Amino acid sequence: MHAREPKLNIARVKLLSWNVNGLRAAERAGFLDWFAAERPFAVCVQEIKVRPEELKPELRNPRRYHAFFAPAERPGYSGVATFARAEPLAVVNGLGVPAFDREGRVQRLAGVQ
């Protein structure tokens, strides 16, 4: 006999994370089509290897999403980004440790409006 799961009245939220190994390469491989089909609340991408100003507008600002980027100081290296349906109350890039923060590996979003 299986234990009965309690019925919870909570919202379903789809959060996705993907190490894209280059956001422009992921775009060429169908990232935007995948993104539209998945319809997540938020997508966190790592190893974007690009600065936001180098992206096409539809990737820099996907429709119905807020985009936040934490690129590395070194061009073409690491970096993270988050695409979220709701605008967060705060976005903090980094840990507060310059030696690590230069690599663009941490992004924290707090609360939503």
Cα–Cα distance measured from residue 112 to residue 87, given in angstroms and rounded to the nearest whole number = 6
pLDDT digits (tens, 9 = 90+) for 66-102: 999 999 999 999 999 999 999 999 999 999 999 889 9
Judge whether residue 1 has pLDDT over 60. Answer: no
Per-residue CA distances from 51 to 44, 71, 75 (Å) = 16, 6, 8
pLDDT tens sequence across 41-68 = 999 999 999 999 999 999 999 999 999 9
Is residue 6 over pLDDT 80?
no
Element (H, E) at 31: helix 31-38
Mean pLDDT over each residue of the chain, to the nearest integer: 91
Please tell me the distance from the alpha carbon of residue 113 to that of residue 104, in angstroms, as a whole number. Answer: 25
Q: How far apart are CA 89 and CA 100, in angstroms?
A: 24
CATH architecture of 15-112: 4-Layer Sandwich (3.60)
pTM of the model: 0.86
Domain regions of the chain by residue span: 15-112
